Structure 1
């Protein structure tokens, strides 16, 4: 799920846990973009080292699912969760375009620096829309097109992201530029109309 397919796990971990990233975009700032219910279910797409998973688990008594394709990253999350006595995290090895969740089963989806990995945004966002409960929230963090960050990840502009999110029936509620080179997009799944 992370964009370091040709790098070693230690290189990937070094970037994901780097001081520069933590200072530029603290996990708390991302998590402040959404309301966590006491028993809500949270899905962290491309969870990596647990950058958002672990602090999310501290904010809710509900289940936090860490989904990633890299088993080594998931094992790291499991070890850190045990060290921090966090018992509400469940790791899942899988792909973000085939989410192993029932329809309308998750209240919050976090997608930090991972959606640009998808060969096509539409199937991933359709899956997110499918698993979100009505009124559920999506928080996206991505790199700006003009970012000077020293890695070769592909870019999705805020405008492209908004269009892709809207196309699958999610309602974009905001954009922000919390740090140089990064943007966030927030969206909700509309309540069912009767």
Structure 2
């Protein structure tokens, strides 16, 4: 585990009432425009904060990728409890997504791109697995000092993130700030 990776012993932070109030997953996912049969990839799926709501929005496959076996095991239990039969768990890193080219319509990258080294490799992988016209929702911490979240030197300013997506060939179609600490960027292939 690099010093940038989320510590799985802190997974309770991923799904708490304060986070749900500030960043409601269904409302955020509505910006992605998931269609009835879309295939969706949730990068750094963790405990399923976005995976499980996405699975209710599509009859297509929802791939939940995480590098941490501990996270995938918790998510496996949650998927079973909710009887989400369209979720596939995938162990792997964002820098080397173990999936074929152009297999998903939508990608969710929630609070994970600041962990990717180098960022350009992760974005190339997202572009590779996305079908033409596919979209990526990037939810990240703005690069400003605050008590919560990753260290300031790990954060990526929204302007830098936009440029990084564009440098890989994406078109950034929207940028919003749901809180003073976070931004949501939608990038289209």
The normalised TM-score by structure 1 is 0.91
Using a 3 Å threshold, how does the CA distance of structure 1 residues 116 and 15 change in structure 2: closer, same or farther? same
| Secondary structure at the counterpart of residue 141 of structure 1 | strand
| Secondary structure at the counterpart of residue 178 of structure 1 | coil
1:178: which partner in 2?
A: 178
Asked whether the equivalents of residues 105 and 134 of structure 2 are also in contact (C-alpha less than 8 Å), the reply is yes
Matched ranges for 1:136-155 at <5 A:
136-153=134-151, 154-155=154-155
2:37: which partner in 1?
A: 39
Cα shift at 1:151: 3.6
Aligned length in residues: 187
User: After superposition, what is the alpha-carbon deviation per residue over 1:128-181, rounded to whole angstroms, capped at 9, x for unaligned?
Assistant: 111110110100000011151424342100100000000111110010001230
| Secondary structure at the counterpart of residue 33 of structure 2 | coil
**In the aligned structure 1, how far is the partner of 2:81 from the partner of 2:146?**
35
Using a 3 Å threshold, how does the CA distance of structure 1 residues 49 and 4 change in structure 2: closer, same or farther? farther
2:53: which partner in 1?
A: 55
User: Tell me, which stretches of 5 or more residues in structure 2 are unaligned?
Assistant: none
Asked whether the equivalents of residues 5 and 115 of structure 2 are also in contact (C-alpha less than 8 Å), the reply is no
1:160: which partner in 2?
A: 160
- 4+ residue segments displaced more than 6 Å: 1-4
User: After superposition, what is the alpha-carbon deviation per residue over 1:71-129, rounded to whole angstroms, capped at 9, x for unaligned?
Assistant: 11111111111111110000011010111121111100000000000121100000111
Asked whether the equivalents of residues 103 and 131 of structure 2 are also in contact (C-alpha less than 8 Å), the reply is yes
**In the aligned structure 1, how far is the partner of 2:6 from the partner of 2:38?**
35
| Secondary structure at the counterpart of residue 31 of structure 1 | helix
2:25: which partner in 1?
A: 27
Matched ranges for 1:69-84 at <5 A:
69-84=67-82
| Secondary structure at the counterpart of residue 156 of structure 1 | coil
The normalised TM-score by structure 2 is 0.93
